[in-house]
Structure 1
């Protein structure tokens, strides 16, 4: 009944969905993969219910060769087998229709059997192939699945929609020397009845789940294993956790394995529901389009997000592994156990997994990392940037066709979703919020749910009408800027929609958001429970400044818990700057202050000069996360001003040196025993920023250490600093002029390229080398790098974005123009390669996003894409165009004031 009601609503919304006449209840899927021909044979038996009388059964199928089909019908204890009279295909809708000469009666049970053949493609979608070199250097393959969002249909005919949950019995016929994995544990492993070289592996039945979560992997794997604690109250049945890799790499899975065990125990406790499967496998996949995929009981990862080498991997890589593992395991509850009804509510999966992934790191695994402060400079900053565009979209966004789904796997679904959840959790308190989440999970486990179901559970737990105010944040596009001005012991605030161009019209500014103000005065939080702006403007009392506090200041949005920007009156901002110097502003608030001031300047609400001047109050800044935010904002200014006259570029580099060089010199190049995780990251940031800006001493040190390093002295450069050193050396290296008939040459470039090509080096270090290549200062070499990046024998398709982005960032050496020209010239190839990806094709479009010319947006970008099929990247294209135009307006508006300020305030 719930399904048919949902189907009616879906049909009314215009979604491209299957008819509601037949629904699946159970699949028995048997596959025989061939790792030489890269084809697989399959047979699926789908036990279904006939909901409405019909003479057709429609299933999803894509790039499958259906060989035969039949239906065994059961009604009133009578069985009959019905042949299929014909099969028709709709390639656009990716559907196959089985036609029958007689009607299948309503309320009957049936078993649909389909025999088929498919291909292990190289597109990182469906049941695809991935290549790698074994320890002897021999090229080998594994085959793995990636079904989200709509690619289960590439593997077997099915009802490939999230609401059409069923159970699965999986059988894999594989070569005897290979391992076979699926969502569940192995029940039996016997010789194949007819293929002497094969074995038949049968897996336990899955819980009821959506097709996109089904997973399989076949290859020559090894693994390491651990178990959850035998006496864990929240997880009474021990869970076996394994990390699978290709031969020789399993030891690099130890860190992820330890994180996974602790996270399963933690989430079982805070969600009030034990992880329900007997095992959790995690596998490193060499070719993977996303970061990871949360398949229930068999999570697949890009290698860099699950493998970590204690001796040579970086602190940043460690942080990345911990977070991605936490995010994917959060999905075992949010997405797998409780699943969205349809893709318009993707945020219920991704926003929650993002937030509770950070929660697990901050509250349980590594509290010393201050992860929720990092969240402000990471996910929240990314969401605020994207949602400031007119071409943004609501968190809950209509999705009709499969081609539209990939475009909402973006910072709105993930990062804004997580940000508004964090805002709600802060408002309700974390304990009340988690109590509501537990109600939600208990009520909807093994079922599908909607956003309104979550709000209902949270309302019950809190005694508040959560849906009333949260609908504004999930169903409306954008967010407000709150202008604030103190008048005595009160602050007057007004809200209006924030846009990157600062010019919201009356029609665009109709939403009145519910905004917790969370004010504090003189370093002391006030009782913020009543300080909620629910109208366009209001006035709120502030308590008197504590006597011992030397600066009479106030700040809104304590801990940057709420999703908006604040524009302070000039006098109030000046006092905030003084408070920063006196150490009175918490770390997250300093990050937010930097972010807001620069965003307001870029959008024209204030001057870039004011933002640059604010940095003078941060000269004594010692917190890594704040320095990282400052680096990001300076990078944004340098990107937009990149093609200005050389004196301007030199002064911006000098400003960068003035902020980061003192820290770099004070900390030095060596990592003392016991140094904190964040201090290690600060050392890397400071040396990288000051060195790239041309600090002579650091550049000389980097070159000397690099020379020793490539001669075999691995201690010359600490692993955390290698990526920064590669970039500094290439940025400041000399390039030999081209010999007659030849090309320019850079010995340093070739050395860094060799580091990338060394497959025995941990992947995070290899990617650091690959991403540094684009810093070389020669346009001919940069053009060659782009061609190099497209050579699949050198760079995997998933990794092309590393050199492409670094070349594009090298504007003054001609890289920006070269990268865009390359995308234009190779568009057809890029489109064919990445159109199945969730995001890689959009990254190609976004390469144009660093330009700051309205004419370029119109003639180069719009002109190039005119007449092309852009349905897979429509949203990315609109966002890129809007970004370019906003940057053009920013540069035109503030070019002269910034040039004057730099001349007056910065010494080269």
Structure 2
């Protein structure tokens, strides 16, 4: 590892940091000092650590192995901006087995970059106020303090925060003292001591010093601290393992504090459940959440101090949108899961990011959430959410394995995607179902306990689960984790049973032999029916070769991948697909809710790849027109929306698709109405929202009239149904002009809650007016908060009239956007968003040519996936337009 140009040498390791940070929210700067305790593992003539964007002062190295202190000025420290490191050459080598201390001061601006230690702002009346917080994952701790910034290099931390009186300071651990700063206060590093003396002389306002408890061993990317004028709401839970009571808080500025109760309530319910499931107590004395107005990601699992954007944690108590409540509960549970997966046990290197994110997605958003909100049917939602996302992302020729080499920081930033989160969660869910709930969870607990406060790799997880199940887990799972892609299982009916064959699935078309070398070990989860008509599920059949014969009675119902548990597509003959569709819609079908969802999701994807006709997928959807379950309609809606988007520049196909869609959803709107009914199920409430949204987007006149009337009421009174807010705003802009546009521009900048801001920003992109579309890029793009720019561009991309124009304006604004979002995730998100709907060869050529002159190293993976996605859609249009037209015209004649 020492020879890896992208990794720090291992001859010296940090064991403890004494870290002091002074935050000046008026000058928007921070000043710090660090004393880093080092162990010398191998003889070394130099010490190398990470530092980026910091001005370093008074660097001193002391060691018992040296005859006297080695002192260096800042100019003697070699700084390498390209690899974000500082190197100090020593007058004499430090011997192996010795210890040393690195002391230094540092300072930097509190920028609005949303990475490192940065500033966030909010409006208190007409006054703009600032506070500061951290975002270090994956490689930005080095922007806040000099450190050994790699996940395996765990240390303990003692943090001291110096701030102005009247503000609140937060860190990973609880505070143990808070004292006033005086000129007699001693700071370990002379430079910071002098700086504080200067600040206190120039400024009459008083400063205070807050000291925090020492942390357990932890990685730098989950270190966190913050300073500002915050309020909080508090709760607590009693540990089911030890009986200890721990404080739970949510901090926010005064404009948001009354919208945090839901987040706090969810956290209180889930933390003890995690302790029981893992049989490991939460190890810190407290668990805070800090809500930020400016945040690059959705949320971040800093140990003891979760952070996240307002839309991720705030619910307006007067307007309880079920979508927002479910989203927030999932995010909170996901971040709390990281307190175990990632914080107690941390991946050895970013190659193994999925050990953090895949588990947090599965545990947080399914296993634990199901115990708190069983009425949400999160196992079913997983199919239309994470699994669908995973299968779509991994059907791309430019996909990557879940466990992917990450040699440098540029690559690390690119793997926080649908594969590390959704595909990882999906393959773990597949193993969870194959091995059995109890055995799987026992194996996970073994894995965590064997790596408490340590680091792990894939093989460590497999070892834990293998010890509890007796299964050969590496044989089952390694290709799912280490190889790119996933299979399509082709089912051919033969005498006495079925012949099943696996090949890699690509949505760009039939796979080439050189791309079809992987053989996965596939749990087939085969459903058959007994003589009494009862479902029998064989969970033990594995396809671990290219082809296999399975004996069964093909005159009866059968299905592969029952429950839609496996991470693969299933290709049936057209005749069998029709039979499954008819079985699925029976009142008492042997096929489950998840089976119906799987059929609806698989058919259009397989059609996109050219393996069946797209008209077969439409016929399958048509067979489900009397479906009653929300989650199935969600899958149907996503398919119809995708088809309408892909053919968005073919007016004839779009209008026929809209004509096919309208009666499907108008029927549901007529049954469910527009207003919630006391005592109705969560499913019916969400189905109403989905049906109204789909009907409105398809141009159903009665629904549009109702939504416009509701927008008029919003204009008059400010009151709006939070469940329907997003589609009301979109329809108002789409069917309106300047007045509607300006109203929502105001709502975007001065919302009643964070969710409303997102709804308004998305809606602005729906305008059909050329002048207003130009205004989005001429002025509104610059005015929009950095964290919300992607939403603005998503709205434009969803507008078939202006999506190509949106790509053009993105290209014109590229240089400014690249500079604006240098170093964080947003640029990748924007690139994916702005190109997400274009689907012609002309667009492919335009985008490809544009990026040939750009430095794409920070988003190359996303760009390649984006180009492949455009190409696949273009091929689909070329292949299937006549097929779709023929089917829709015939269907229209029958309606």
Verify: 1:765 aligned to 2:756, yes or no.
yes
Answer whether contact 2:12 2:38 (CA < 8 A) is retained. yes
Partner of 2:129 in structure 1?
140
Partner of 1:564 in structure 2?
568
After TM superposition, list the pairs within 5 Å mapping 1:703-722 onto structure 2: 703-712=708-717, 714=719, 717-722=720-725
- Over residues 243-262 of structure 1, what are the superposed CA-to-partner deviations in whole Å (9 max), with x where a residue is unaligned? 00001422211111111111
Partner of 2:157 in structure 1?
168
Equivalent residue in structure 1 for 2:617, among 608, 611, 614: 611
Name which of structure 1's ranges 826-835 and 80-89 shifts more when overlaid on structure 2: 80-89
Aligned counterparts of 1:264 and 1:800: Cα–Cα separation in 2: 34
After TM superposition, list the pairs within 5 Å mapping 1:314-329 onto structure 2: 314-329=321-336
Aligned counterparts of 2:480 and 2:452: Cα–Cα separation in 1: 25
Partner of 2:747 in structure 1?
755
- The DSSP-based 3-state class of the residue aligned with 1:142 is strand
Deviation at 1:465, TM superposition (A): 1.4
Deviation at 1:79, TM superposition (A): 7.7
Verify: 1:666 aligned to 2:671, yes or no.
yes
Aligned counterparts of 2:257 and 2:827: Cα–Cα separation in 1: 28
Deviation at 1:445, TM superposition (A): 0.6
Aligned counterparts of 1:199 and 1:805: Cα–Cα separation in 2: 44
Aligned counterparts of 1:851 and 1:485: Cα–Cα separation in 2: 36
Deviation at 1:629, TM superposition (A): 0.8
Partner of 1:90 in structure 2?
80
Partner of 1:123 in structure 2?
113
Answer whether contact 1:323 1:358 (CA < 8 A) is retained. yes
Verify: 1:219 aligned to 2:222, yes or no.
no
Aligned length: 867
Deviation at 1:574, TM superposition (A): 1.2
Partner of 2:69 in structure 1?
81
Partner of 1:150 in structure 2?
139
Answer whether contact 1:386 1:411 (CA < 8 A) is retained. yes
- The DSSP-based 3-state class of the residue aligned with 1:642 is coil
Deviation at 1:198, TM superposition (A): 0.5
- Over residues 405-441 of structure 1, what are the superposed CA-to-partner deviations in whole Å (9 max), with x where a residue is unaligned? 1100000100000000000000000110000011001
Name which of structure 1's ranges 635-644 and 292-301 shifts more when overlaid on structure 2: 635-644
Deviation at 1:854, TM superposition (A): 2.5
- Over residues 113-144 of structure 1, what are the superposed CA-to-partner deviations in whole Å (9 max), with x where a residue is unaligned? 0111122111100000001112x332101100
Deviation at 1:632, TM superposition (A): 0.7
- The DSSP-based 3-state class of the residue aligned with 1:790 is helix
Verify: 1:893 aligned to 2:879, yes or no.
yes
- TM-score normalised by structure 1 residue count: 0.93
Aligned counterparts of 1:541 and 1:530: Cα–Cα separation in 2: 14
Answer whether contact 1:483 1:495 (CA < 8 A) is retained. yes
Aligned counterparts of 1:536 and 1:880: Cα–Cα separation in 2: 30
Answer whether contact 1:834 1:841 (CA < 8 A) is retained. no
Partner of 2:889 in structure 1?
903
Runs of 4+ aligned residues of structure 1 deviating over 6 Å after TM superposition are: none
Verify: 1:776 aligned to 2:753, yes or no.
no
Q: Cα 1:15–1:337, aligned 2, differ >3 Å: closer, same or farther?
A: farther
Name which of structure 1's ranges 330-339 and 764-773 shifts more when overlaid on structure 2: 764-773
- The DSSP-based 3-state class of the residue aligned with 1:187 is strand
Deviation at 1:15, TM superposition (A): 5.4
Equivalent residue in structure 2 for 1:507, among 514, 518, 521: 514
Aligned counterparts of 2:694 and 2:537: Cα–Cα separation in 1: 40
Q: Cα 1:168–1:525, aligned 2, differ >3 Å: closer, same or farther?
A: farther
Verify: 1:418 aligned to 2:418, yes or no.
no
Aligned counterparts of 2:295 and 2:177: Cα–Cα separation in 1: 29
Aligned counterparts of 1:80 and 1:183: Cα–Cα separation in 2: 36
Deviation at 1:55, TM superposition (A): 2.0
Verify: 1:207 aligned to 2:216, yes or no.
yes
Aligned counterparts of 1:403 and 1:226: Cα–Cα separation in 2: 40
Answer whether contact 1:32 1:40 (CA < 8 A) is retained. yes
Equivalent residue in structure 1 for 2:635, among 616, 629, 643: 629
Partner of 1:66 in structure 2?
56
Partner of 2:42 in structure 1?
52
Aligned counterparts of 1:771 and 1:361: Cα–Cα separation in 2: 31
Name which of structure 1's ranges 675-684 and 264-273 shifts more when overlaid on structure 2: 675-684
- TM-score normalised by structure 2 residue count: 0.95
Verify: 1:833 aligned to 2:834, yes or no.
no
- The DSSP-based 3-state class of the residue aligned with 1:148 is coil
Aligned counterparts of 2:780 and 2:493: Cα–Cα separation in 1: 55
5+ residue gaps in structure 2? 184-199
Answer whether contact 1:148 1:213 (CA < 8 A) is retained. yes
Name which of structure 1's ranges 207-216 and 114-123 shifts more when overlaid on structure 2: 114-123
After TM superposition, list the pairs within 5 Å mapping 1:874-893 onto structure 2: 874-893=860-879
After TM superposition, list the pairs within 5 Å mapping 1:549-698 onto structure 2: 552-583=556-587, 584=589, 585-644=591-650, 646-698=651-703
After TM superposition, list the pairs within 5 Å mapping 1:142-291 onto structure 2: 142-194=131-183, 195=200, 197-229=206-238, 232-291=239-298
Aligned counterparts of 1:157 and 1:429: Cα–Cα separation in 2: 46
Answer whether contact 2:34 2:103 (CA < 8 A) is retained. yes
Deviation at 1:492, TM superposition (A): 1.6
Aligned counterparts of 1:841 and 1:576: Cα–Cα separation in 2: 40
